[in-house]
Structure 1
Amino acid sequence: MPTRDIAKSTISASGQRLADERAEATAESVSVADIVSAIEEDIVLNRVHPKERLVEEDLMQRFAGKRHVVRQALFQLENAGLVERIKNRGAFVKSYTPEEVEGIYVMRELLEEAAADRIPMPAPPALIDALTAIQSQHSTAVESGDLRAVFHHNIAFHRTLFAACGNDYLADTVNEFAQKAHAIRFIGTTDRQAILLARDEHLAMIDALKQQDRAELHRLCYQHLQPSKERYLHLYRLREGG
């Protein structure tokens, strides 16, 4: 082969290797956490529905990720209670039975009451300031109809509130059960009236802290949980013909 052709062939091969390396880097740049966060959003914002199949090949194409990264993300979502994997069938958005929903919400009520009991009264000014700032962003997102921002600011509000209990194990467990409920809460996160009610209850929680009214804080935390549970159970009964 002439020297010029050899050089061209070498350059072509080098270019192909570079393209392959770039494609590999792009695939590897998508983290498990990125995929988990995106699918979690899809579930909460009602883009995918209970019992809907999550196809690995589709997710690989969507996220430009390798199969093992997608599978690890699905594994984490399964551990979080948002996805269920059925042998020989694949991964599906979790569909909770009424008994499972009741069990999750009993735990949420107990955990959040225990955390609310341990929030200092009077509440530290830094806590009031932090909650007020987050709620301002949440309220702005509600008014603009930015459901993605509503979802994320809502999480930030509750994590900040219950972190103030001073017990990291308790706060983490509150967050764990709140995450499980994402597959239950999806109706309330896209319903305008439900979002407005949640906003108002957040503001009332801040006021209860300012007034040092622990009993009212307990009542609000309990009340805040009920609509999403009841909506899910109602939809389940309609879907299953019950």
Structure 2
Amino acid sequence: MSRSSVQDADDLETRPSAASVAEEIVGSVEEDIVLGRLHPKERLVEEDLIERFDCKRHVVRQALFQLEDIGLVERIRNRGAFVKAYTPEEVEHLYAMREILELAGVDALPLPAPSSWLDELSELHQRYSAAVDAQDLRRVFHLNIAFHRALFAATGNPYLADTINEFAQKAHGIRFIAIADSDSLSRARHEHQAMIDAIRRQDRDALRELCRQHLLPSKNRYLQLHPTRR
């Protein structure tokens, strides 16, 4: 085998797969939307993404299809892909579904709670709280996801937990306003601790109400600031 053939083989072994690069693009764009680096109706230029991630056009298009499927991007024929801008009606419908799903999740949680689950929630909450104190919004975003996934994973119903996660992800294009607001972060931190306390007390009714109230700040802030968004 020639030296160039050996080098080509080595490159193939070390080069990330198209699927892994597409997942990286999806995660990065999702993070950019939540952290306010990309805004509703902002166009996602394929050439920019190709250069940023050093990949082929078909990989970028695969990522855009995935982002559209998640609900964070809308692709308009002959115009391109844009960060999704939710109408007030869409926001109401999305959050109505989130409330239905999360309350069903609360009803399925095991009480009394296994100590290992409580320890996991407490450890994630401590890390989340530290990220809030440090104003590390990227870590706040990812640890918030981890906390809620750990909460609803305990239902024991993977289909319910996956659907809760799916609808939470669709709301990332709405949550970008609240995540940069210090009062919203302080409230979220307080509510996370209150959820853990309600689980310890085996108070399912209190936990239901906490989860319902926990959904409101992002939804209300989006509707207040963009009441006629189309």
| Alignment correspondent of 1:141 | 131
CA drift at 1:18: 6.0
Matched positions, count? 227
Q: Distance in 2 between matches of 1:100 and 1:92?
A: 17
Root-mean-square deviation over aligned CA pairs: 2.2
- Residue correspondence of structure 1 range 12-161 to structure 2 within 5 A: 28=17, 31-161=21-151
What runs of 5+ residues in structure 1 fail to find an aligned partner? 1-10
SS at match of 1:187: helix
SS at match of 2:215: helix
Q: Distance in 1 between matches of 2:23 and 2:39?
A: 21
| Alignment correspondent of 2:181 | 191
* CA displacement, residues 186-207 of structure 1 (integer Å, 9 cap, x when unaligned): 1111111111111110000000
CA drift at 1:166: 1.1
| Alignment correspondent of 1:170 | 160
Percent identity over the alignment is 60
What runs of 5+ residues in structure 2 fail to find an aligned partner? none
Q: Distance in 1 between matches of 2:229 and 2:67?
A: 24
| Alignment correspondent of 1:204 | 194
Residue identity opposite 1:95 in structure 2: A
Say if 2:121 and 2:151, in contact at 8 Å, map to a contact too.
yes
Q: Distance in 1 between matches of 2:144 and 2:16?
A: 31
Query: Is 1:236 the equivalent of 2:226?
Result: yes
Q: Distance in 2 between matches of 1:18 and 1:86?
A: 42
Greater Cα radius of gyration, structure 1 or 2: 1
* CA displacement, residues 143-186 of structure 1 (integer Å, 9 cap, x when unaligned): 11110000000000000001111111101000000000000111
Say if 1:108 and 1:178, in contact at 8 Å, map to a contact too.
yes
TM-score (norm 2): 0.92
TM-score (norm 1): 0.88
Say if 2:87 and 2:229, in contact at 8 Å, map to a contact too.
no
Stretches of 4+ aligned residues off by more than 4 angstroms: 25-30
Q: Distance in 1 between matches of 2:43 and 2:133?
A: 33
